[in-house]
Amino acid sequence: MNNKFGSLSLSLIGLCSPLLLASAPALALDWAAAPVKEVPMFYAGQTGMEWMYDKKAHDGAARFEKRGMHCLECHTGDEKKFGPNQVGGKTDTDPFPGRTPFVNARVQAAFDAGNFYLRVQVPKTAAGGKVMDSKYLQKLTVMLDDGGVPEFAQGGCWAVCHQDSTAMPEAAGREITKYLAGSRKEIQKRIGGGTDFVADGDLAGLMAKGYFLEYWQARFNTAADVSAIDGIILKDRQTNDSALVTAQVTDSGADWVVDFSRPLAADANHKALAPGKQYNIGLALHDQSSNGRFHIVSFEYSLTLGGDGNINAVKQ
């Protein structure tokens, strides 16, 4: 099936693995052997996927659409200025008071014969101007793709954030969660795809081809109060009934250290992980008791297991 966003055609590739495994236990690892990648995270305001292609709003729109350039190719090093600009209201009609605009996360990865491990260390931030989530002080999310979602490889988290999503400029009071453009019959420029979904059979076909994102989320208030969920993003954001991912949190004083673990093998709602293949990930942090679009996010980063990705997992 051919979906278009402006002149953007969505090619669909991917894989789906049939194995269902229990969650992997968290094990002691030699993290000193894993290289550290600094991953800047910043407040993005109301800049969704459609904004990326809007030549009036985004001066890099032509390079992004016609030349297929990735966010990091143009904006490495710009993250620290982007956050304050958005907090200041540059593209935000309803800014979050007291929003921390930028943090540097430190990311490491490892794997062994059966499991994959990801460590994300984020600075603690001061309380914001309002409590949006009274249940969780922090939520750290990882989105993962294996090449099945080309717009995620190019634009990272912006592939699932749209101008008509909840609390975005074109939401018109609707509650629309994260979604991929291919799940809609049409993406309207500067607006989004609304709830005009493709047929259920087409959605099943997209899943079978690997056109979906896997996500993990660690929710916590303290290091002793942690829960983990995982799920998929396609038509919307869906939480799996039983998570493969586990999460542990350590309070290092100035930072939160979040350790995710997951089996390498996967069922239909997860991406199989293997050496020799490149993956793409994006990070989102709901700190300061924030919720919804009021998070800070990273650009897209490549991930390899024993390779040369931006983030490279070392074998243990």
Q: What is the 3-state secondary structure (H, E, C) of 62-118?
A: HHHHHCCCCHHHHHCCCHHHHHHHHHCCCCCCCCCCCCCCEEEEEEEEEECCCEEEE
**Interval 2-28 mean pLDDT:** 40
**Cα distance between residue 88 and residue 45, in whole Å:** 9
Per-chain mean pLDDT for the chain: 88
pLDDT of residue 23: 41
Task: Give residue 137's pLDDT band: very low, low, confident or very high (50, 70, 90).
Answer: very high
Task: Give residue 11's pLDDT band: very low, low, confident or very high (50, 70, 90).
Answer: very low
Say which DSSP state 22 is in: P
Whether 85 has a pLDDT exceeding 90, the answer reads no
Please give the C-alpha separations between residue 26 and each of 45, 119, 193, 231, in angstroms, as whole numbers: 35, 11, 40, 19
Tokens of 181: 């453009």
Question: Rg of the chain over CA atoms, in angstroms?
Answer: 18
Contacts 24+ apart (CB under 8 A), 27-31: 27/112, 27/115, 27/117, 27/261, 29/110, 29/117, 29/316, 30/110, 30/316, 31/108, 31/110, 31/119
Whether 2 has a pLDDT exceeding 70, the answer reads no
Whether 72 has a pLDDT exceeding 80, the answer reads no
204 three-state secondary structure: helix
**Interval 80-88 mean pLDDT:** 82
pLDDT of residue 64: 60
**Cα distance between residue 64 and residue 168, in whole Å:** 21
What b/e readout covers 38-73, taking b as 16+ CB neighbours within 10 angstroms? ebbbbbbbbbbbbbbbbeeebeebeebbeeebbbbe
What is the torsional sign of CA 14, 18, 20, 25? negative
CB 213 within 8 Å of CB 180: yes
Those residues whose C-beta lies under 8 Å from the C-beta of residue 10, and which sit 6 or more positions away, are 2, 3, 4, 150, 151, 181, 182, 211
Beta carbons within 10 angstroms of residue 246's beta carbon: 21
Those residues whose C-beta lies under 8 Å from the C-beta of residue 308, and which sit 6 or more positions away, are none
Tens of pLDDT, residues 241-285: 999 999 999 999 999 999 999 999 999 999 999 999 999 999 999
